């Protein structure tokens, strides 16, 4: 059994859908065969055995009897009464399109051609009872209908006709009118016309068809739910995993046991995730190694330049040396950021989280970055605590504040707000600067990304500050997003789990 299941699981998805489709048809057919067999086991009085008569044939039988008993001048009034009861228009035509009863009407040509057809053969006259028929006084008399041929009542024909809108639906049924007992019946055609396709139940009784359609739809839905879930459930997992890969989480893997297209796609996603993890991990290690190797020679260069600066006497040479010192300082700052970035990215799973006082962390970051030209205001509840790593959170907030001081201090004060929402703590850093173009917000936390590529070392950093923010926050099991403020400014929000 398991071997057969394994073979089925390796079939292409198209074949699985086709097999399930035919299985669906087989189950529906078996259900209807079972219902048919059940009818033979039920008693004759069961509602499931009760056969629905054709309403048009029943009306023809009634009119055949009643018109046969009434004089011809009263036939139109009889039809009018039945037309009012059935809510349709009724007409009686003799063979050859001669109208016998009903209101004057101009028949459409397709209807006229059908009325001119020869009438069906009648094998024998009806067994009319005598005037005082069976039945006790005060009890209803049962009058049998006319006998048709040996095959039962002739079939009704149907025509839809319209001259514009709406459609006009016609139903015709040949029937005999026995005007006198023992004489040959008058062949006629009963016509019914209505603007409704069902004729208020006279032309068509939709209830059985509606029940059949609902049963088929219900069975199909019940049978297709497992197959749809079989297809959509792994796709939803793939969507969740690929979203995680896009966010930088490469540790999740999909089930590889399926042999169809979905299974191959899952294996491809797993392979892609492993390759990306290896490539990005190697990139981060390379950055860390390069930064570490550059630290010592840069320190020696700075030391040598400081000695030269004290020995140079001419102002012109001194300015050249100071320019070189500025370059060395920039290199040193870049190497420091590279080291911070690589350390924050490597092994974030080893970071131990604990309840941290946000007031103390934010105050520490503000003291580091605040200047007289760039005031920073804080609105933090002293009792507010989050589940995080204190040093990583201070580093993330320091980079955010440094970024705001550098690019937005001229627009107004920088605000830091912290609050709790449900089980999360939100830390928001807001400024009044120029903001960032909307199309670049998603790339803002990518390594080495700068919203303005024209910035040099005097107006911008290496593009690692916000990348370090993102890695530090994610190491604390949180998330960070940026959005533009109205009318101007940038807001960066860090979300962390609240400490219990």
DSSP 438: G
Partner residues linked to 419 by β-bridges: 426
Chain segment 158-204, per-residue pLDDT in tens: 665 555 566 788 888 888 887 766 567 788 889 999 888 888 888 87
Please list the alpha-helical segments (H only) found in 346-463: 358-369, 390-408
Chain segment 5-20, per-residue pLDDT in tens: 455 566 777 778 888 8
Chain segment 273-306, per-residue pLDDT in tens: 888 877 777 776 776 667 666 777 777 777 777 7
Q: What is the mean pLDDT of residues 426-449?
A: 84
Asked if 123 and 149 count as a contact pair (C-beta separation under 8 A), the reply is: yes
> What integer best gives the mean pLDDT of the chain?
76
pLDDT of residue 136: 41
Chain segment 204-231, per-residue pLDDT in tens: 777 777 887 888 888 888 888 888 888 8
Domains of the chain, CATH where assigned:
12-42+209-237 (no CATH), 55-121+148-203 (3.30.450), 261-343 (1.10.287.130), 351-497 (3.30.565.10)
Place 141 in a pLDDT band, splitting at 50, 70 and 90.
very low
Asked if 114 and 95 count as a contact pair (C-beta separation under 8 A), the reply is: no
Chain segment 115-138, per-residue pLDDT in tens: 887 765 544 444 444 333 333 433
- Token readout for 497 is 């789990």
Instruction: Determine the length of the chain.
Output: 500
Place 429 in a pLDDT band, splitting at 50, 70 and 90.
very high
Q: What is the mean pLDDT of residues 356-376?
A: 86
Question: Model's pTM, two decimal places?
Answer: 0.46
Using the predicted structure, report yes or no on whether residue 343 has a pLDDT greater than 70. no
- Token readout for 468 is 């370090």
pLDDT of residue 389: 87
Residue among 184, 189, 158 nearest 171 (CA): 158
Chain segment 266-278, per-residue pLDDT in tens: 888 888 888 887 7
């Amino acid at each position: 059994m398991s071997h057969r299941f394994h073979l089925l699981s390796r079939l292409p998805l198209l074949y699985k859908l086709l097999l399930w489709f035919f299985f669906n048809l087989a189950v529906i057919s078996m259900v209807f065969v079972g219902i048919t067999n059940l009818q033979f086991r039920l008693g004759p009085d069961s509602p499931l055995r009760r056969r629905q008569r054709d309403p048009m044939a029943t009306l023809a039988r009634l009119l055949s009897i009643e018109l046969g008993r009434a004089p011809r001048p009263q036939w139109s009034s009889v039809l009018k009464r039945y037309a009012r009861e059935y809510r349709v228009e009724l007409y009686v035509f003799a063979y050859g399109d001669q109208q016998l009863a009903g209101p004057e009407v101009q028949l459409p040509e397709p209807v006229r051609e059908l009325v001119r057809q020869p009438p069906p053969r009648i094998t024998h006259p009806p067994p009319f009872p005598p005037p005082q028929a069976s039945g006790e006084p005060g009890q209803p008399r049962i009058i049998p209908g006319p006998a048709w041929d040996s095959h039962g009542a002739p079939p009704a024909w149907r025509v839809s006709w319209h001259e514009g809108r709406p459609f006009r639906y016609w139903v015709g049924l040949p029937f005999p009118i026995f005007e006198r007992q023992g004489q040959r019946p008058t062949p006629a055609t009963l016509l019914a016309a209505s603007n409704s396709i069902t004729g208020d139940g006279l032309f068509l009784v939709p209830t059985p068809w509606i029940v059949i359609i609902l049963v088929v739809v219900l069975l199909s839905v019940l049978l297709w739910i497992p197959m749809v879930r079989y297809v959509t459930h792994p796709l939803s997992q793939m969507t969740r995993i690929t979203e995680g890969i896009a966010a930088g989480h490469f540790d999740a893997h999909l089930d590889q046991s399926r042999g169809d297209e979905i299974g191959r796609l899952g294996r491809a996603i797993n392979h892609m995730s492993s390759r990306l993890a290896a490539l990005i991990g190697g990139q981060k290690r390379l950055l860390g190694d390069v930064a570490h190797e550059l630290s010592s020679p840069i320190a020696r260069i700075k030391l040598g330049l400081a000695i030269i600066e004290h020995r140079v006497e001419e102002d012109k040479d001194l300015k050249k040396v100071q320019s070189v010192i500025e370059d060395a300082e920039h290199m040193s700052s870049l190497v420091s950021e590279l080291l911070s970035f690589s350390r924050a990215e490597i092994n974030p799973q080893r970071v131990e989280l604990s309840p941290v006082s946000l007031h103390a962390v934010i105050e520490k970051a503000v003291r580091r970055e605040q200047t007289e030209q760039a005031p920073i205001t804080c609105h933090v509840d002293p009792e507010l605590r989050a589940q995080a790593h204190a040093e990583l959170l201070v580093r993330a907030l320091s980079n955010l504040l440094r970024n705001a001081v550098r690019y937005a201090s001229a627009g107004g004060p920088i605000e830091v707000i912290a609050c709790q929402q449900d089980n999360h703590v939100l830390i928001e850093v807001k400024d009044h600067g120029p903001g960032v173009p909307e199309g670049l917000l998603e790339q803002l936390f990518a390594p080495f990304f700068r919203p303005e590529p024209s910035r040099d070392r005097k107006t911008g950093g290496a593009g690692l500050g916000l990348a370090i923010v993102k890695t530090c926050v994610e190491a604390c099991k949180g998330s960070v997003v940026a959005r533009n403020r109205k009318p101007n400014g940038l807001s960066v929000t860090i979300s962390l789990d609240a400490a219990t």
